[in-house]
Amino acid sequence: MEFRLIDRIRERTAQGREDVRLGIGDDAALVAPPAGQDLAIAIDTLVEGVHFPLGTAPADIGWKALAVNLSDLAAMGASPAWALLALTLPRQENDALRSFIDGFAEGFARLAQPHRLALVGGDTTRGPLAVSVAVHGFVPPGQALVRSGARAGDAVLVTGTLGDAAAGLALWQRGARVDEGDGRAAYLIERLHRPTPRLAAGLALRGRASACIDVSDGLLADLGHLCEQSGLGAEIEAPLLPFSPMLLGAFDGEVARDFALAGGDDYELCFTVPPARVAEVQGDLARLGCGATHIGRMVEGDGVRVRDGLGQWLETARRGWDHFAP
């Protein structure tokens, strides 16, 4: 049964690449990294009930399992090439298992194919539903985006909008679904289940951003990691945070702000650039369709502080997602 499942995944995710010498079907894949490129590698594990809600459609799980990893490559300014997949599947009837695999592979392939990402191997086993994906990508030597390069005075920007995924999760937990006719709920839940990895933006930021990170655990938490690696602090202006009309139509401004600061699962890029390059970078990312909003600056010190519209520092109850918090 295991090998038939692997065959179903292989058939639905096939992607030809000349640099894949040997893919799924042997004890290990054989790949040929191009000369003159660094290899960027990232891995994430998604667990049912932790990283995606119970009842999430298999196609959405397949999409998201790949998207969160491609977002890591985007944050490094890397272009994707190959992936490994490990699936832990609960015991179920064969028909249900095949249906899950077909849906999962469809969602995975739908995101992989536009980026020419080849699934080159992996593993399946039995247990509570969990998905691990490892991705590999290329970046020219010395051009990778890192968290440690910010300088005091640099501007802090984010792509897209913040808080949508956390809002989608809140609506899902209240029983909302994408097929119930509420356009706002459908949009926000889609942002939760099918985030958009900002790969084109990551490539555009090579040689321009001084530091970069993707927003997976919440803006405060992830910008905090960038601050720590750069040995600096950050000051964010809450009125500048970018919200989608759908978020503001479904929740009041204070709740939307909390979602944006600490909700997580946005998979937007948070990055820093010298002030003189802000307009240039914003123009280029606008042409790519994701845009970028200037929300604050890097400062001497440590940690992330948020100022409201009256110039007062906000006390935030949550700082973002922590997998091992009590």
pLDDT of residue 77 exceeding 80: yes
Q: How far apart are CA 191 and CA 102, in angstroms?
A: 22
**Are 119 and 15 in contact, with CB atoms under 8 Å apart?**
yes
pLDDT of residue 197 exceeding 90: yes
**Average pLDDT for 92-104:** 86
Confidence of residue 13 (pLDDT cuts 50, 70, 90): low
- Assign domain 155-307 to its CATH architecture: Alpha-Beta Complex (3.90)
pLDDT in tens, 122-168: 888 899 999 999 999 999 999 999 999 999 999 999 999 999 999 99
pLDDT of residue 245 exceeding 70: yes
pLDDT in tens, 175-189: 877 666 678 999 999
Which pLDDT value is given to residue 325? 47
The segment(s) of the chain belonging to CATH 3.30.1330.10 are 2-139
Which pLDDT value is given to residue 317? 62
Which pLDDT value is given to residue 324? 40
Q: How far apart are CA 142 and CA 218, in angstroms?
A: 28
H helix or E strand, kind and range, residue 248: helix 245-250
Backbone angles phi, psi at 96, to 5 degrees: -65, -40
Backbone angles phi, psi at 263, to 5 degrees: -75, -40
pLDDT of residue 54 exceeding 70: yes
- Of 25 and 204, which is predicted with more confidence? 204
Q: How many residues does the chain have?
A: 326
**Are 290 and 201 in contact, with CB atoms under 8 Å apart?**
yes
**273's tokens:** 């650039």
Nearest alpha carbon to residue 169 among 69, 259, 244 = 259
Nearest alpha carbon to residue 230 among 179, 155, 300 = 300
pLDDT of residue 47 exceeding 90: yes
Which pLDDT value is given to residue 91? 83
The segment(s) of the chain belonging to CATH 3.90.650.10 are 155-307
Q: Indicate the class that CATH gives domain 2-139.
A: alpha beta
- Of the chain, the end-to-end C-alpha distance in Å amounts to 39
pLDDT in tens, 267-314: 999 999 999 999 999 999 999 999 999 999 999 999 999 999 999 999
H helix or E strand, kind and range, residue 285: helix 278-288
